[in-house]
Amino acid sequence: MRKIRIAVLMGGPSSEHDVSIASGKMVCDNLDKERYEVIPVHISRDGEWSVSFEELIDRADIAFIALHGEYGEDGTVQQFLESIGLPYTGSSAKASALGMNKLASAKLFTAHDLNVPAWKEITRYDDWAHFGSPFDYPVVVKPADRGSSIGTSIARNEFYMREALCKVFEVSRTAMVQKYISGREVTCGVLEDEHGNIPLPPTEVFPVKAELFDYEAKYVKGASKEITPAPITKRETEEVQETALAVHRIIDASGYSRTDMIIGNNGQIYVLEINTLPGLDPATLLPQEANYMGLSNSALLDKIIAAAIRRYGR
């Protein structure tokens, strides 16, 4: 049988360019060369593709999206691939855009009776220099449309609130000011197979050098400690997995996803956000969870590709 030709898209003009390169390298290195012909496609920070669109259409059977953040995870590249008729891994353009928009997805999760920390939206065009928190301090301040916790910080008073908003508005037009929930931070992946969506073992994350699981904690070696499976009770594990499945379903995600949550000190589980294209570097969380389940990185990629093939009926 002819090998399936996989175009691996990596890089891109986003704030997560370097993370995407690491994910793309993992994909290229771990795809079964007996089954797949690998076509690496590097996208520069300026948006230049290393392979022409004509060559992509002619050579590739499917695109493996190893992009993160804006452009790759917000529905932009998905819309482009749909326009040229090339199947791709992961969620649709609509689901990707919804997952990336923290305000829209928070409203949706709340409408489906999931717990989400209370929030308020503020834009750079508002009178934010005199903005006071609608909640008791501390609060979490984050961009409404970025991934990997870029621009996210904790504000403990009005001075730090203004500083946090300045940080957000360097990368986004809209900030989400959210009530701080004290508790344990966990994350849980969902992977699609031929039987449906299955939850992976949850992971608990402990930032070592910061107060929260920010960009540095996620990607700088030694900046955080991650334990898979999370050392939580059986009931908490089941509730976290059920929540991850519910979030995946509500967003209408496809193939795989990872949902970040807080187990509050009150025992309730709060949804922070969904990642529709979670990192795939071996040091990142979804591969760790899949590996604990007994899936090699190669087998994980097989399942992601198989889910995309089923979705497109190929």
Residues 18 and 281: their CA atoms lie apart, in Å, by 11
Q: Let me know if domain 98-115+182-312 sits in CATH 3.30.590.10.
A: no
Question: Could you give the residue numbers annotated as active site?
Answer: 16, 148, 219, 258, 260, 273, 275, 279
Closest CA to 87 of 308, 242, 253: 308
Burial of 314 (0-12, 13-18, 19+ CB in 10 A): exposed
What long-range pairs does 296-301 form, CB within 8 A, spacing at least 24?
296/30, 297/26, 297/30, 298/30, 298/31, 298/32, 300/191, 301/27, 301/30, 301/31, 301/32, 301/64
Where does CATH 3.30.1490.20 sit in the chain?
A: 119-179
| Identity of the amino acid at 244 | A
Residue 190: C-alpha distances to residues 152, 202, 242, 248 (Å): 24, 10, 10, 7
What is the token pair recorded at 133?
Answer: 């928190």
Domain(s) of CATH 3.30.470.20: residues in the chain = 98-115+182-312
Per-residue pLDDT of the chain (314 residues; tens, 9 = 90+): 789 999 999 999 988 899 999 999 999 999 999 999 999 999 999 999 999 999 999 999 999 999 998 899 999 999 999 999 999 999 999 999 999 999 999 999 999 999 999 999 999 888 776 777 888 999 999 998 876 567 889 999 988 888 999 999 988 899 999 999 999 999 999 999 999 999 999 999 987 665 655 545 454 555 568 999 999 999 999 999 999 999 999 999 999 999 999 999 999 999 999 999 999 988 889 999 999 999 999 999 999 999 999 998 75
| Residue tagged 């939580």 (tokens) | 232
Q: What is the DSSP letter of 156?
A: -
- The answer to whether the CB of 137 falls within 8 A of the CB of 155 is yes
Measured distance CA(206)–CA(208) in Å, rounded: 6
Structural class in CATH, domain 4-89: alpha beta
Instruction: Domain 119-179: give its CATH superfamily.
Output: ATP-grasp fold, A domain (3.30.1490.20)
Q: Which residues, 6 or more positions from 81, have their beta carbon under 8 angstroms from its beta carbon?
A: 63, 87, 88
- Computed on alpha carbons and rounded to an integer, the radius of gyration of the chain in Å comes to 19
Please give the structure tokens belonging to residue 177. 């000011």
Coil, helix or strand at residue 150 = coil
Residues of the chain with CATH 3.40.50.20: 4-89
